[in-house]
A and B are shown apart, each in its own frame.
Chain A
Amino acid sequence: MIRKELVAASVEPLILALLAGGESYGYAMIQELKARSGDELLWSDGMLYPVLHRMEGKGLIKSRWRESESGRKRKYYSVKEDGKRALKAHREEWTLIYSVLSGLNPI
């Protein structure tokens, strides 16, 4: 399982990257992240929402309530222009870290 600190550092770019692919809601986002990471990327489900609210406050994402197919209301999030720019910056940072790390002591 990935360390808590790394999960915390990566959650914002991961959410932005997920939402760059289209509107989504909290539960679906968690499921997709779990699936893509092979259940390595785990955190308490409830912890996602403070992050989403913080990102919304920063103007990176926006949300709206809408009815799902089941008739229940869900809050859907989508990425804003500032979020797309932030995602680009995150990608550059993570790519740089990855290239530095993979260049050091290659096995």
Chain B
Amino acid sequence: MFDLEQAILAWRKQMTDAGVKAPVPLEELESHLRDAVEERVRQGLGEAEAFNVASGQMGRAGEIKSEFDKAAKLEMPLGQKWGDRYGVSFFASLIVFYGIWMTRLVMQYALFSGKERTLAFAALAVTELAVFAAWHLVPVLFPIIHNKRVESVVVSLCVVADAVWYVFFAWYVLPRFQFTPGGVRVMTLWAMIPILVAPTFFSVLRRSERAGVQT
């Protein structure tokens, strides 16, 4: 007995195996396939035959993937091409450099007590882990934003939240407590975590969105 949902799942697997990205543009292609199947069933074909005709008319997965690759190369503005090619490496290098540079400072800074030094290293480790986790988890945990305006609002909120947190920390948190010189530095390292994670969050969000769609 033919099962349309199973057939569509198998078709999706063929597409993803060929490198067509999910959810975008695969969702749109699937929507088209379902329209084509429905139309042919309305014309009197059985579901199995309708699916075979519609999926054949859709074209081979490898060809579709290759056309999307060509289109992506043509559509991408130069700045974006550079951003995609070098931006990720640059940002990753920056985070690694930040970790190494701060580790050296913490090692050299004589005013740290043993406990403060441990807390400073913990802050650096959490920073690196949080950026790494955000890079991998944002595309999985957050839905792709199809609407460009909504995406802009989310990105702007990230930037504003970052700025507000920075001002709040520098103007309200630090002056209110009597930190030792080492303590101030430890607190600053912890406060840097959201400031460094936020750009990762929205850059991954943008890349996920571009990998697929925009509105």
Contacts and interface: CB of A to CB of B under 8 A. Distances in A.
B72 A53 contact: yes
- B interface: dominant SS: helix
A45 interface: yes
A44 interface: yes
B67 interface: yes
B215 A62 contact: yes
A73 B68 contact: no
A21 B70 CA distance: 28
7 cross-chain pairs, A with B, having the tightest CB-CB distances, nearest first: A57-B75, A44-B59, A54-B71, A46-B59, A50-B67, A50-B71, A27-B35
B32 A45 contact: yes
Nearest to A70: B38
Contacts of B178: none
Contacts of B71: 50-51, 53-54, 57
Interface of B: 25, 27-29, 31-32, 34-36, 38-39, 57-60, 63-64, 67-68, 70-72, 74-76, 146-148, 213-215
Contact of A50 (B60, B70, B146, B148): B70
Nearest to B68: A50
Given A62-B215, A65-B146, A45 B76 contact: no
A72 B76 CA distance: 30
A64 B38 CA distance: 22
Nearest to B210: A57
B64 A75 contact: no
A63 interface: yes
Contacts of B68: 49-50, 53
B32 A26 contact: yes
Contacts of B146: 64-65, 75
A59 B63 CA distance: 25
A47 B60 CA distance: 10
Given A45-B36, A49-B25, A73 B31 contact: yes
Nearest to A55: B75
Given A47-B67, A49-B28, A50-B64, 15 more contacts: A26-B31, A27-B35, A44-B57, A44-B60, A44-B63, A45-B57, A46-B63, A50-B67, A50-B71, A51-B67, A54-B71, A54-B75, A64-B146, A64-B215, A65-B146
